[in-house]
Amino acid sequence: METFDSVILILASGLRLSVPLILACLAGLWSERSGVVDIGLEGKMLMGAFAGAVGALLTGSAYVGLLAGVGASILVSLVHGYAAINQRANQIVSGTAINMVCDGLTATIGAAIWSQGGRTPQIDSSALFNEITLPFADAVVGVPFLGPVYAHLISGHDIVTYVAFLAVPLTSWALYRTRFGLRLRAVGENPAAVDTAGISVVALRYAAVMICGVLVGLSGVYLSIAQAAYFQPHMSAGKGFIALAALVFAKWRPWQALATCLLFGLLDAASIRMQGVSFFGVGKVPVQAIQALPYVLTVILLAGFIGKAIPPKASGIPYVKER
Amino acid sequence: MSAPLKPLPRWADVALIPLLNVAAAFLISGLVVAVIGESPWQAVKLLIGGALGDLEGIGFTLYFATCFIFTGLAVAVCFHAGLFNIGVDGQAYIGGLGAALVALHFGFLPGPLLAIAAVVAAAVFGAAFAAIPGYLQAKRDSHIVITTIMFNYIASALMGYLLVYVFEVPGSNNPQSAPFPPASLVPHFFELLAPFGIVWPNTPFNVSFLLALLCAVGFWILIWRTRLGFEIRTLGANAPGAVYGGISPARVTIITTLISGALAAGLAVNVILGEEHRLILEFTSGFGFVGIAVALMGRAHPFGIVLASILFGILYQGGAELAFDMPKISRDMIVVIQGLVVLFAGALEHIFRAPLASLLVALARKPAPAEG
């Protein structure tokens, strides 16, 4: 029973760690499916986290924080969209620039306002997204196996977590079951064909870039006012890039993205939990090995040793209407 | 918007457009400083005073510039082949591993041979680490941008492990190696100049700077005066054309990443062998990413890269002084400027082109003004 409980705890912690990955990964999915490569997820996540924390601090409301975080992230997305769509820029360069600017700007402004090296003051718990206990969670916790699963895995998360898990079927439905989704996927594969059909490539790509901004902004908001209760410089700690790896690993598909992010979140939880634990036959597994695993797995997948990851055909290529 | 861009005169293309782009980046940086509540003008004065005001400042500025020349060249050589190497930071980190292994274990080598061997080992390790994404791009069609990002994190995890479990001196709690023997070090300029009666304050500025300049010259010869350079540029400009001309894209891609990784390792030479004299955690300090800004600003030309590196050297050294004098401005402000330079010199490089072209046309129509 004790091992079962600790397994549940690791699963629950892995689930919490996977939430920002899921949101950011879906954000990247929307953008890249429309043909706009986005390596600026990390920067936008930071921007969302910072603006979210500032909003919550100033107004005392988590929802205002959420709006501020998502709004800031959309603004940054629009800069990337303008560079990628209107200016036909190299999207990798633009993403790199966004990562640098957001990383520097959030730290600089934070340090200038609060003089704590960029860290914001602790946010009051009334201005945070707190855990929601689903009905009967306390009543059924005693039920063997299913009780703890319901009480600790399904119940007891904040609203952003539920939104993240809801975003997966929504994304899948919108991409594969709606006219908008069909057009969006088409614009990422063959924009000229979409254009010939009289549909605006620019409008579709801007729509995708803005949806990307909303989702990745939410992941930032989750970091600062749901998971933690403050903003701290560089607090995304590479999660935007892990989300990017997960996106490649999931081959740009929503359900696979969910599975990959859960796996990567679980690996993260395990690496924290298994510090210094000896394994039968293997000895101590260094934390760094588990930390590097998502990246190694993604490289192996990219190299085509386990299946083949083929990006949307037109991703990264600016669309030129006429020559 | 979709009107074709008119060709600009050469002087506008080579000098005016890049200047306008960089000026826009600095203008917005000034705005950020003003929003924070400090005077941008005062900040610039403090920054330049801190970087160039005395020999000590200049020594630090050139030490930082050395880092950026290496990483800028590493990014630029890949640009010429149409590749985007974001992994310069990781490659430099692994280059440091090569330098440390030789410095600590090849003590039997006489005199300067040990230092030279350590430099070569750094280059070999950096090149090998860069060649894996290069190989995967060339032979397995894995996108080099994604793989080099992943390799940065893999390098970071690997070095973290090695420093804690392998290099750490028993009994110490610092994740760093034992100090390197003196014969393995790249000498500081202030030590070299002292016997000649020239007094230079104690700064990290070291002989790696000359190596960096040598690499810049070598870069120019390689890219514009050799067969391989021609192949690299052809691949970057027109990959199908390169194949038609009998160039093997796979071969050129792998060789280019090898060169890029070796250049990246110059950062390790400057920091590890030139200043720290031991292997330490995260010694690359993100300078591999500065290389992206430097390469874009210098338009992938070694002369431009050296100039841009000195400018960024001024920013990093002056920025440290500035953060000291103006507590409201943290060192992260430099990262903002760096990002804005990448944005305007890279992503939005054509933003002033169309307005400038129409302005020039309008000026040319008027009878009176002389030709610029």
Weakest mean pLDDT among B96-105, B155-164, B182-191, B277-286:
B182-191
**Cα distance between residue B353 and residue B357, in whole Å:** 6
Contact assignment for A241 to B154 by CB distance below 8 Å: no
Structure tokens belonging to residue B364: 């040319």
**Cα distance between residue B258 and residue B137, in whole Å:** 13
Widest CA span in chain A: 69
Contacts of A289 (CB under 8 A, 6+ apart): B157, B161
pLDDT interval class at B290 (50, 70, 90): very high
**Cα distance between residue A231 and residue A118, in whole Å:** 8
> Backbone phi, then psi, for A283, in 5-degree steps?
80, -165
Weakest mean pLDDT among A137-141, A224-228, B180-184:
A137-141
Q: Give the closest-approach CA distance of B217 to chain A in angstroms.
A: 26
Provide, rounded to the nearest whole percent, the portion of chain A with pLDDT above 90. Answer: 54
Weakest mean pLDDT among A39-53, B159-173, B206-220, B289-303:
B159-173
**Cα distance between residue A102 and residue A213, in whole Å:** 14
Residues B119 and A268: beta-carbon distance below 8 Å: no
Which residue is listed with tokens 């590097």?
Answer: A292
Contact assignment for B343 to A248 by CB distance below 8 Å: no
Neighbours of A122 (CB within 10 A): 10
Given the DSSP bridges, would you call strands A283-284 and A278-279 parallel, antiparallel or unpaired? antiparallel
Whether pLDDT at A318 is above 90 = no
**pLDDT one-digit tens code per residue, A16-26:** 999 999 999 99
pLDDT of residue A64: 94
pLDDT of residue B199: 83
pLDDT of residue B365: 78
Q: Which residues of A touch B335 (CB under 8 A)?
A: 100-101, 103-104, 107
Contact assignment for B149 to A241 by CB distance below 8 Å: yes
Which residue is listed with tokens 């790199």?
Answer: A96
Considering only the beta carbons, identify the residue of B37, B335, B347 that sits closest to A94: B347
Average pLDDT over residues A124-152: 78
Contact assignment for A117 to B330 by CB distance below 8 Å: yes
**pLDDT one-digit tens code per residue, B33-89:** 999 888 899 999 998 999 998 999 999 999 999 999 999 999 999 999 999 999 999
Contact assignment for A298 to B150 by CB distance below 8 Å: yes
CB of B149 less than 8 A from some CB of A: yes
What is the dihedral sign for C-alpha B295, B298, B303, B307? negative
Contacts of B356 (CB under 8 A, 6+ apart): B8, B12, B16, B17, B20
Residue B148's closest CA among A38, A241, A256?
A241
Structure tokens belonging to residue A237: 């700690």
Average pLDDT over residues B238-263: 94
Length of chain A: 323
Whether pLDDT at A309 is above 80 = no
Average pLDDT over residues A166-193: 95
Contact assignment for A104 to B153 by CB distance below 8 Å: no
Label residue A246 exposed, middle or buried (CB < 10 Å: 0-12, 13-18, 19+).
Answer: buried
Whether pLDDT at A323 is above 60 = no
Residues B261 and B135: beta-carbon distance below 8 Å: no
CA nearest to B141 within chain A:
A303
Weakest mean pLDDT among A32-36, A43-47, B9-13, B104-108:
B9-13
pLDDT of residue B2: 42
Average pLDDT over residues B282-291: 92
CA A160 to the chain's CA centroid: 12
Q: Which of helix, strand or coil describes residue A157?
A: strand
Widest CA span in chain B: 81
Residue A67's closest CA among A229, A168, A214, A210?
A214
CA nearest to A237 within chain B:
B153
Structure tokens belonging to residue B35: 């929003």
Considering only the beta carbons, identify the residue of B149, B337, B347 that sits closest to A89: B347
Contacts of A5 (CB under 8 A, 6+ apart): A148
For residue B342, give the DSSP letter: H
pLDDT interval class at B336 (50, 70, 90): very high
Q: Give the closest-approach CA distance of B246 to chain A in angstroms.
A: 26
More confident: B360 or A49: A49
Name residue A59's amino acid: T
Average pLDDT over residues B111-135: 94
pLDDT of residue B231: 95
Residues A20 and A38: beta-carbon distance below 8 Å: no
CB of B350 less than 8 A from some CB of A: yes
Residues B265 and B88: beta-carbon distance below 8 Å: no
pLDDT interval class at B3 (50, 70, 90): very low
Length of chain B: 372
Contact assignment for B2 to A39 by CB distance below 8 Å: no
Average pLDDT over residues B153-159: 94
Q: Give the closest-approach CA distance of A304 to chain B in angstroms.
A: 7
Contacts of B70 (CB under 8 A, 6+ apart): B92, B212, B215, B263, B264, B265, B266, B267, B269, B270, B291
Considering only the beta carbons, identify the residue of B1, B141, B161 that sits closest to A288: B161
pLDDT of residue B57: 93
Return the half-sphere exposure (C-beta side, CA atoms, 13 A cut-off) of residue A218.
24
Structure tokens belonging to residue B196: 């000649």
B40-52 and B55-80 helices, crossing angle to 10°: 100
**Cα distance between residue A236 and residue A24, in whole Å:** 11
Q: Give the closest-approach CA distance of A142 to chain B in angstroms.
A: 41
Q: Which of helix, strand or coil describes residue A90?
A: coil
Whether pLDDT at A146 is above 90 = no
What global pTM score does this model have?
Answer: 0.89
Q: Which of helix, strand or coil describes residue B20?
A: helix
More confident: B355 or B250: B250
Residue A93's closest CA among B191, B291, B150?
B291
**Cα distance between residue B101 and residue A139, in whole Å:** 61
**Cα distance between residue A167 and residue A22, in whole Å:** 9
Sequence ranges of the domains in chain A: 2-125+143-302
Residue A46's closest CA among A240, A200, A228, A248?
A240
Residue B292's closest CA among B77, B125, B127?
B77
pLDDT of residue A277: 65
Neighbours of B331 (CB within 10 A): 16
Considering only the beta carbons, identify the residue of B157, B336, B348 that sits closest to A288: B157
Neighbours of B312 (CB within 10 A): 29
CB of B287 less than 8 A from some CB of A: no
CA nearest to A117 within chain B:
B330
User: Per-residue DSSP letters for B218-239?
Assistant: HHHHHHHHSHHHHHHHHHHH-H
pLDDT interval class at A313 (50, 70, 90): confident
Number of helices (H), then strands (E), in chain A = 13, 2
Q: Which residues of B touch A104 (CB under 8 A)?
A: 332-339
pLDDT of residue A282: 60
Residue B263's closest CA among B299, B298, B228, B222?
B222
Mutation site for B-interface testing, chosen from A25, A239, A299, A301 by largest number of B Cβ within 10 Å: A299
What is the dihedral sign for C-alpha A173, A174, A176, A179? positive
Average pLDDT over residues B109-113: 85
Structure tokens belonging to residue A96: 């790199």
Contact assignment for A100 to B165 by CB distance below 8 Å: no
Residues B274 and B186: beta-carbon distance below 8 Å: yes
**pLDDT one-digit tens code per residue, A231-280:** 999 999 889 999 998 998 898 999 999 999 999 998 888 877 776 666 65
Average pLDDT over residues B100-129: 93
Contacts of B41 (CB under 8 A, 6+ apart): none
Structure tokens belonging to residue B126: 């950096």
Structure tokens belonging to residue B142: 């894995």
Fold of A2-125+143-302: ABC transporter involved in vitamin B12 uptake, BtuC (1.10.3470)
Contact assignment for A286 to B165 by CB distance below 8 Å: yes
**Cα distance between residue A27 and residue A210, in whole Å:** 9
**Cα distance between residue B51 and residue B367, in whole Å:** 46
**Cα distance between residue A31 and residue A77, in whole Å:** 10
Q: Which of helix, strand or coil describes residue B188?
A: strand
CA nearest to A82 within chain B:
B348
**Cα distance between residue B167 and residue B27, in whole Å:** 46
Residue A105's closest CA among B329, B30, B327, B333?
B333
Predicted ipTM of the assembly: 0.90
pLDDT of residue B1: 41
